[in-house]
Amino acid sequence: MDAPPEHHATRISNTPDPGESPNLPIDQVIKKVSQDEDTYFLARAKYTYRKTIRIQEIGPNGKPVGEYLLVTQAGHESDGTPVDKVVERPQSTLTHVQLESEDLDGLNRIPSFPLTTNQLGKYDLKYLGKDQVDEISCYIFQVKPKVVERVHAYFQGVVWIDDKYLEVVKSYGSWVNDLGDVKSSPQVPFTTFETYREFIDGKYWFPTYSRSDETLHLKGGEDVPLRMVIKWSDFKMVGAAPANPSPNSAAPSSAPANTTPPADGPYVRPPH
């Protein structure tokens, strides 16, 4: 999958360049990564941001022929409860997929930082080599769950880690259980996502762009290419998080109460 033309990974920081990376053992690299993931998880709870979900049907010429758009603003109610408020939701022009906002609730269950210290012991990470993500030289690690389950899904794929600062800047993979790849809902067949992060406020690597391409197989034998792009933008600090979140705790979401999963803990399989 080609890198999105509208995304460019770069780092702007007030801290000096550390120069060449120290020759750390792999386990120390992984430990540093998980500790930073804890930091980013906690920090993002203190931000409000805009989230744009765009799903398109792709025609034979490779151009969109139908589209569903949902724009929400993350914030908090007066009692501190996190909430996503709809900012924009025009009429869908999709022909083969009928979507409601509820069909996308499963996306809120996907942890943004799967390799926190609480979850790290459930994965095997294997060093694959080095690669370049825009201007950033990276280590590449393969990530696999040690054990797959029916109720919980775990990340399986590849992560790109800044080889100087030892932070995740990109990931590519899916969430799996003992039945295979997990779909967020029957109406949304996307399973494999390529996700880029951006350096926010000179401190935190937050996901800002995620893309998935899948094919919808219709009963008549027709195949319809689909594309989903999710963007997070306009990050603004709103002060201390209202509820003392931790990478090990459950956090509310806009999903119905009986399906709310732990945030950045195990991905709870959607109830279908």
Architecture of domain 26-242: Clam (2.50)
Q: What is the pLDDT of residue 20?
A: 46
Q: Distance between CA 140 and CA 135 in Å, rounded?
A: 15
What is the C-alpha end-to-end distance of the chain, expressed in Å? 30
Cα separation, 176 vs 153, in Å, equals 5
Residue 55 contacts residue 228 (beta carbons within 8 Å): yes
Q: pLDDT at position 186, please?
A: 75
Q: What is the pLDDT of residue 21?
A: 45
**Confidence at residue 108, expressed as pLDDT on a 0 to 100 scale:** 81
Low-confidence ranges of the chain (pLDDT < 50): 1-2, 12-22, 240-244, 248-263, 267, 269-272
pLDDT of residue 53: 95
Task: Give the domain ranges of the chain.
Answer: 26-242
Tokens 């494999």, residue located: 192
Residue type, 49: Y
Instruction: Summarize pLDDT for 230-246 with one digit per residue, the tens.
Output: 999 999 998 544 444 55
Q: How far apart are CA 135 and CA 3, in angstroms?
A: 13
